[in-house]
Structure 1
Amino acid sequence: MKACRSILLITTLLTLAVNSIYGTPNNTLSEEMKTVQEVNFNTDGLYFAEFYDLIFRGHFENIEIRRNDLFLMAIYNQFLRAYGSQCASQLPSNKIELMETVCKRERVTKNGYGTVIDRSCIEYTTIGSGIYAKPDMYRGLKTLEASQNGEAIQYVFSLYSDSNALGNSVDMMHKVNGLKNDLSVIFRLNPCGESGMKRFEENLKRYAEGTSPIRMKTSSKYTLMKESGAPKGNQNYHSLLNDLVANQSKTWMMNRYVLNSISSVQVLSKDTNGAPKTLKANYRYQGFLGDKQGWVKVDFKKGLPNCIYFWDFPKNCKKANSTIVASFSQGRYSKN
């Protein structure tokens, strides 16, 4: 029963259950969308910037969030909902309503004094959300949903065997918050009806369905940074760490990072080229108990920030923001 309740919690959180009829697919694009390479899509500063940019460019082979990744469903589903809310004028007349999973009947347990000590849902149902999607994008959602059967169950059971289960659960919530922040600004960066957004939509659907993308010739700056590696010369690691922690703190649920509070920066290890392999520093944050100090550690891969570890979940890797990493690779943190 505990596992079943956890499955329902996970699927509700990621809005995996969408039970409605299929729409009529629309795979046609204008010749301009198929051939023109000079289309822009701005992802700077977004939490999942690298993913969005690679989807837009059709460089599926470089995407780290694979089709069987449970979180891809969350990205796709929440994008549809954000698009349906913010770009409703772009929807066709045969649009399809997205559904929501809600509790239909719950079990309430009380102690001998009548105080509720447990409240859990024992029966769910689906209702219309009032948000609509394009039929072909909805088809992509259903295709992805079908391909991920069993992934939610596997994820739940992994929570019981993983020694870092709590850290992974918190990390999932941080990703959800990061996604929420992204979708609150992405349509301001890339207006609904512009070619860049249309290209992103089409390629997102194709990635979900496992079909060939509309591919741009130019490489993503996030791919180029991994090829170029670490910048030359002395770097301002104090500023770099401040930006990385400030970016991560946008997804925190309780604590608030005190800006520019990075101190005691240490290089714990170096690679064969003499560049940092691991950095560690202290920082301050505001919590329930006032101003506190924590530490952060950053591991580098091929000379670039890769994993960020915080004192409260020291085994939990949080990926460094790709926009900041690209700036670092381009030498924007250089002291020279």
Structure 2
Amino acid sequence: RQGQDPGASSRRMVDQALAANGDMEKLLSQNSCNSAALKRFQANFERFGSGGAPLKLASGATLSSSRGGGGAYVPSNYGKMINDLIAVNAQGWMLNRYIGSSVSNVSVTRKDPAGRPLTISARYRFNQLGQPSNGTVRVEYRDGRPVCLYFFDAPGTCRVPSPGVVTAYEKGEYR
């Protein structure tokens, strides 16, 4: 598209590959070729590719609508979660190197009516060509889960959060 960052598409592909790191191997190693899980995966993959709706569970819910739901909202350790999100995403950085556990100034800047975050901002440190530097990241939420990371150097580019970190968040592992 005109006016869009020409590297955004390739960054998104790298993000998605890093985010899914090992997922396919786990799926195949934990399920036989004729298993119900792989058949559901195939059916959902075909539906996704053709623009169809996902399969529904017996309860009528889709898999994504059933994850992490229920109960009152409990705040989490957002600094630890953002650290983990950046650490996974940084594996695809070309020049910069994330300085682990450097997240600071974490702030929930917008909340939904239930008190869940809609936007969280934080600072972090990284090495840029060997020089320590500061950066900022904004984490956007939808339906109570992180959906995009926006880094200061590409503020209009949604970087895909690690599904493993998002799932851990949904399970309450950052409380």
> Which range, TM-score by smaller chain?
0.7 to 0.9
Letter in 2 for 1:310: F
1:311 aligns with 2:149: no
**In structure 2, C-alpha distance between the alignment counterparts of 1:254 and 1:197, rounded to whole Å:** 43
Match of 2:111 in 1: 270
Answer yes or no: is the 8 Å Cα contact 2:125–2:132 preserved in 1.
yes
**In structure 1, C-alpha distance between the alignment counterparts of 2:124 and 2:57, rounded to whole Å:** 42
Q: What is the TM-score normalised by the length of structure 2? A: 0.74
User: Which of 270, 288, 299 is the matching residue for 2:129?
Assistant: 288
Structure showing the higher helix proportion among its residues: 1
User: Which of 24, 38, 42 is the matching residue for 1:203?
Assistant: 42
Segments of structure 1 that go 5 or more residues without pairing to the other structure are: 1-157
1:190 aligns with 2:40: no
**CA pair 302-220 structure 1, distance change in 2 beyond 3 A:** closer
**In structure 2, C-alpha distance between the alignment counterparts of 1:295 and 1:310, rounded to whole Å:** 6
**SS of residue paired to 2:76:** coil
**CA pair 216-188 structure 1, distance change in 2 beyond 3 A:** same
**CA pair 286-197 structure 1, distance change in 2 beyond 3 A:** farther
**In structure 2, C-alpha distance between the alignment counterparts of 1:291 and 1:238, rounded to whole Å:** 20
Match of 1:166 in 2: 6
Alignment of 1:221-260 (within 5 A): 222-225=64-67, 228=69, 232-260=73-101
Answer yes or no: is the 8 Å Cα contact 1:230–1:329 preserved in 2.
no
Per-residue deviation at 1:197?
A: 10
**CA pair 176-247 structure 1, distance change in 2 beyond 3 A:** closer
Per-residue deviation at 1:331?
A: 1.8
Answer yes or no: is the 8 Å Cα contact 1:278–1:300 preserved in 2.
yes
Provide the aligned length of Structure 1 versus Structure 2.
168
Answer yes or no: is the 8 Å Cα contact 1:327–1:333 preserved in 2.
yes
**In structure 2, C-alpha distance between the alignment counterparts of 1:230 and 1:309, rounded to whole Å:** 29
Q: What is the TM-score normalised by the length of structure 1? A: 0.42
**CA pair 231-316 structure 1, distance change in 2 beyond 3 A:** farther
Per-residue deviation at 1:313?
A: 0.3
Can you list the C-alpha shifts for 1:230-279, whole angstroms capped at 9, x where unaligned? 86223111111111111212222232222111011112122222222211
User: Which of 140, 150, 153 is the matching residue for 1:299?
Assistant: 140
**In structure 2, C-alpha distance between the alignment counterparts of 1:194 and 1:319, rounded to whole Å:** 29
**In structure 2, C-alpha distance between the alignment counterparts of 1:275 and 1:165, rounded to whole Å:** 31
* Larger of the two Rg values belongs to structure: 1
Per-residue deviation at 1:220?
A: 6.7
**CA pair 309-256 structure 1, distance change in 2 beyond 3 A:** same
**CA pair 278-198 structure 1, distance change in 2 beyond 3 A:** closer
**In structure 2, C-alpha distance between the alignment counterparts of 1:230 and 1:316, rounded to whole Å:** 33
Alignment of 1:4-153 (within 5 A): none
**In structure 2, C-alpha distance between the alignment counterparts of 1:191 and 1:217, rounded to whole Å:** 23
Segments of structure 2 that go 5 or more residues without pairing to the other structure are: none
Answer yes or no: is the 8 Å Cα contact 1:177–1:251 preserved in 2.
no
